[in-house]
Amino acid sequence: MSAQTTHQASQARTIRGVLLNDDQRPTPSGAASASLTYGWRALLKIKHIPEQLFDVTIFPIMMTVMMTYVFGGAIGETMAGTGDSSAAVDAYVQFLIPGVFAQTLVMITMYTGLTLNRDISKGVFDRFRSLPTWRPAQLVGALLGDQVRYTIAGVIILAVGFIMGFRPDGGLTGVLGAFLLLLVFSFCLSWVWTTVALLMRTEQAAMGVSMFIMMPLTFVSNIFADPQTMPGPVRAFAEVNPVSNVVGAIRELMEGTVDAGSITTVLIYCAVLVAIFGPLSMFIYNRKS
């Protein structure tokens, strides 16, 4: 009993020893620093749960190989027009790789929302919201951390594409430019998923709604086929679809035919996405119970 009391007294002394005085209080970190810190948290999660890289490694390989060889013969045939199926596939590879590159990264952005939805259901979310930091930092940081995931996925797709015979005329500069543009677009599109994640109560619901938005965005586009071949209303959607515009700009960059107009269009889409879904996400985030 007395040994225990002594132990308690010494524990109390130790704890009192590590409490800071008022004048030792640091200024809470600013917007950029807080966002980077949350980004660091996202990277730590990759370190501790490397399995979560499955979606950015295996999935892109699967998509690239599958899409090319399933559609290559059929759709490529109309592009090559030679009747030779290997020439058709080769022609389709040049067309499809930039598209699959964009599609896969765009699809992976969805996981940002799902991760956030899981985060919210845990106690740590309350802790973060009770800190005196810039509140959007938690979301911005998560999106910044995801840039690493997108980069991994992008490198894998381009490597697989190269093995399959993809030879972009735009060279390394064109590919890097396209990559950068796609990362910017992915970051901006992610705000749609943060909004969905904050609105939906469960991860499954968030997944369902995200897929519902994702499928038309990626399939009713110029990724797999030329919209000119589609019937009127579908073609109209495919042409205004932001994903089509991104893919168009990426193809141009990779082909070395840079067009400032299409890049500007993509950046306008980016700005609009952030301007709508950024504040919307934060509005819901601040009122989340």
Which residues here bind other proteins, judged by CB under 8 A? 1, 4-5, 8, 11-12, 14-22, 25-29, 33-34, 37-38, 40-41, 44-45, 48-49, 122-124, 126-133, 137, 287, 289
Considering the complex, state which of residue 184 and residue 205 has its C-beta at the smaller distance from other proteins: 205
Return the number of the residue (82 or 121) whose C-beta is nearest other proteins.
121
The distance of closest approach from Cβ of residue 199 to other proteins in the complex, given in angstroms and rounded to an integer, is 16
Of the two residues 38 and 101, which places its CB atom closer to other proteins in the complex?
A: 38
Core vs surface per residue 220-231: b (16+ CB within 10 A) or e: bbbbbbebeebe
Q: How far is the CB of 29 from other proteins (least distance, A)?
A: 5
Query: In angstroms, what is the minimal distance from the CB of 129 to other proteins?
Result: 5
Nearest Cα neighbor of 221 from 65, 98, 91 is 98
Do 257 and 231 contact (CB within 8 A), yes or no?
no
Q: How far is the CB of 34 from other proteins (least distance, A)?
A: 6
Specify burial of residue 252 (Cβ count, 10 A radius: 0-12, 13-18, 19+): buried
Q: Helical H runs in 81-202?
A: 85-120, 124-129, 137-163, 171-199
User: 228 or 289: whose CB is closer to other proteins?
Assistant: 289
Cβ proximity of 96 and 68 under 8 Å: yes
| Closer Cβ to other proteins, 134 or 237, answer by number | 134
Are 190 and 113 a contacting pair, CB within 8 Å?
A: yes
Residue 224 or 285 having the CB closest to other proteins: 285
Instruction: Please state, in angstroms and rounded to a whole number, the distance separating the CA atoms of residues 279 and 284.
Output: 9
CB of 209 to other proteins, least distance (A): 21
CB of 48 to other proteins, least distance (A): 5
Tokens read off for 171: 């060279």
Residues 117 and 197: beta-carbon distance below 8 Å: yes
